[in-house]
A = this chain, B = another copy of it.
Amino acid sequence: MNKVNLKQLAKELNLSVSTVSRALRDSWEISTPTKQRVFDLAKKMNFQPNPYASSLRKHRSRTIAVVIPEVANNFFALAIKGIETIAREKGYHVLIYLTNEDGSEEMSVAANLQSGRVDGVILSMSGETGDVRHLMELQQRNIPLVFFDRVCDSIEAPKVVTNDYESGFVATEHLIKAGCQRIAHLTISMGLSISHKRMKGYTDALLRYDKPYEDTMIVHCEGSDEENFLKIRDLLASDQRPDGIFASVEMLAVQVYHACRELGLEIPRDVKVLGFSNLVTASLLSPALTTIAQPAYEMGKEAATILFRRLEKKYILTPDHRVILPARLEVRSSTL
């Protein structure tokens, strides 16, 4: 079976190509009987319009790009699901790009996206990015950009985030109230907005409760999984071992569990652990992990909704439009 196009439909119906085109788009300038004839034949011949011809002509692809650092991660997976749901509703297609937490990969993806392949971009920044020109160029090319979670404050674009500062504060406060005296913080790339804010919440909570504050208790985990694991293990093996740990991302919390196991430390007796996480199994971990859970699915939906609003020119947003969806502290263990 071969591809059928407008021309063939037109010839079959003794109509012009333009009439068929208009009929299929249900234009008011075409008579009802003609429309019916066209619809019928189109269905019979299983006509599928060539999207690329249409995109070329209209300068619109009905396609968006989602650029994320990682997908094997419940947070981003749920966000994709939210984005895809809204995109389907709106008749858009979703291209996915993984940057593997690598700034240079993010740059090459962004450069590629300048081609007009997509009408808009939803992006969560990779850790290593320092230079953001590639993102500004997207905007200059009139390709709307919406950030979510890992946003870039120096770029004017809508942002969908959680209340990272407050969550960091609440998390730390929770550990303090659970009796922790020395609370460590595990963080990822400091080039990231979320890292800054979560850490500020942490330090502010310590200050607020007159807890000792030491730089050595903040562990920057910016390396490979293996390197990070070693750093965490060293922290837990030191004679200055913390009795509480606040992990800024899921993976680091999981690493703490593994390190504790390796060192024979018991959670929460020896060390209490709390982390940002969307693990569906958090409540089943041994012992349960108390989490700060982000509304990932809703964040994805919101980001997509904002993008389409802009694409459909329905609303003008202020350039620094920011939506904050609160994360929830989910206490999982009575001893924590």
Contacts and interface: CB of A to CB of B under 8 A. Distances in A.
A64 to B, nearest CB: 11
A114 interface: yes
A73 B84 contact: no
A214 to B, nearest CB: 29
A285 to B, nearest CB: 5
B286 A140 contact: no
Given A72-B81, A80-B71, A284-B285, A50 B116 contact: yes
Nearest to A260: B284
Contact of A116 (B3, B85, B285): B3
A316 interface: no
Contact of A3 (B70, B96, B141): B141
Interface stretch (A32-40, A52-60, A229-237): A52-60
Interface string A57-81: 0000101000000111110011011
30 contacts: A1-B140, A1-B141, A3-B116, A3-B141, A46-B114, A46-B137, A49-B115, A50-B56, A50-B115, A50-B116, A51-B115, A52-B52, A52-B56, A52-B117, A53-B56, A56-B56, A71-B71, A71-B80, A72-B77, A72-B78, A72-B81, A80-B98, A84-B98, A93-B117, A94-B95, A94-B96, A95-B96, A257-B284, A281-B281, A281-B285
